[in-house]
Structure 1
Amino acid sequence: MGYWLELLDWILRDPGKLIRYLVLFVCSVIVIVQLSECFTKLNSPPISTHSYFSLNDTVEMPAVTICREPPYKEDVLNSMSGGICPHPKYITCWNNFPFNDLELDDFFMNSTFDLEETILGEQYGLDGLTKNLEIKTSLHFYMGRCYTLNPKIELKRTTRTSGYSLMLTHHIIPGSSMEMMLEKNPGWHVYIHDHRHEFTELNVKGAARSEYIFAEIDEEIEIKLQSQQFRNIESKETPCSATLSYSDMKCAELCVFDDLATKTNCTGPWMTGILQQPCDNSKSMRALIKDYGIYYESDDDIECDCKRPCNARIYSTFIQSRKQLNSDGGRTSEL
């Protein structure tokens, strides 16, 4: 009882001092809590969303990648491989392949289709002019040689005649016996994507940002595009790359190529950017194709240590019309 009596006596003697101590204690606790929250935000910045509309005076057009179907010339594959070879994914293509006499690069280039065998003459353009487009070639194992049309200008108007226009050509005549023998319908695979991201046939992260359309022979298609741009905020947990030329799709593709080259100790002509000797025998080539097929047919995203782009542009397509094209056979028009 003596302690409590002394404490009560001290409080009654100077109650103002007690109030000052209590206020100081409460303020100290508040300051400590606020400082703790500030340091936590510095270490792990909070996620916030800021939405706004930016009306541009120009329109940034996408890239358009075109791949033929079928992707390979079967008669050339048969003669060069020395057997039945509708597509190099089959084992029969490599049983008698003359690795010592024929370069793999020549095998794939000679058996795929040139630009003139995919796009008809000079009948392509952006805003009505071919000079507004740059065409790049890429080789892929399953899809053969593809051609990407990259825009060199931004459009100042959006009309039916100011967008992309191109005429494609094909060697197969609709309804012919050759068409009946094919595994898939002949035509063209058309991919619409950000021109900063190189096309890949693999199911990598970022590939979902590409729009896909299949164009059949003797078909005229009119497409309307919608563009959306997203800017990501970089953090320690989710870093991103602000480099304009950076492509997370290309990064993931190189990651896959590097893994395949490490496993088989050789590469194929479509595996560009990998420093490794090309496969020089049937066993290693079949092993490479088998492992590559596992990646290609997988529905899961390929996990690689690739940053996401800080700025991403997504294009959505709306087919305005799809009708029969009146031509002399083997062509299709896309607007």
Structure 2
Amino acid sequence: MRRIRWTGLPRNPPESSPGGRRQSGVFSLRTQKVARVESQADMQPRKTVQTIGIISRPRRSNLVVVVPPLLKWLEAHGIQSIIDEETASSLPDGSKGQTRERVADASQLLLVLGGDGTMLAAARLAAPRGIPILPINMGSLGFLTGFTLEELHPALDDTLEGRFSLSERVMISVELERAGKVIDNQRVLNEVVINKGALARMIEPELTIDGDFVCRYRADGLIVASPTGSTAYSLSAGGPIVHPTVESFVITPICPHTLSDRPLVIRDSSSVELKLSGNTESVFMTLDGQRGIPLQPTDLVRISRAKEPLKLIQPPKKSYFEILRSKLKWGEA
């Protein structure tokens, strides 16, 4: 397992994976080693971390109980804190917060208080900036937020002292091309979904992998998920659970008309292209379930592995399978 030392200012993006090759992403073997996805990390002492940004779930009532003692704890340990507007709105003293973009720009570590939705939003800010995230679960399921609220202060202390496990999660790069021009470029952690709007009718997305035509689906939609996203929407649509260290994408049709249209697992160095055929009325591209973009008949969606992974701090004594057992209630009657 690769060792990583964080110097407190992780601003340089890691080297990109060899995604430029055009071999088939379904059958061909990887010919070059790339960085492992999940790694243990050493961190230097606490003084290298001078600024922590706090991003919270909006309108969480218990933030007023959690945040004030947290800010005092950070101040007592010589750490400057920067809070976002959602966190500030929950405080009784009328404090003003910063936009989440400014919080991420000024921070060396992001502390996320919320559930998986808050984590997904924070991931899109942290990954391109090379900032680690320490996630504290204040939501319901919390697949990505591995620390409980009771573990907040011990987790902070361990992180600042370098006693933690760092998981580097693949981010998905998404380009939307319209009339020959790229009009949008995004990074997502879980999945990209092409799905129908309000009308109960099928859509017909065409899938191409590394220039090879795969098929034209007739389905309610199509999901392209990362290993992290394999336990989200893709799992609900019948896709497999993929360990975060498996360098892959999962392509899962949503309620396909043909039962033989099954999920595909391809390597993440592949270039995936999606375009619509047939009726394209009221079709959307949805990113991590948080942003919807209407698609037009000539649009082309390009999906690939992003250069910058998400650096996610996790409990050192909790394995991935322990989290699965806990969240999915495996083995319970």
More helix by share: 1
TM-score (norm: length of structure 1)? 0.28
More strand by share: 2
TM-score (norm: length of structure 2)? 0.28
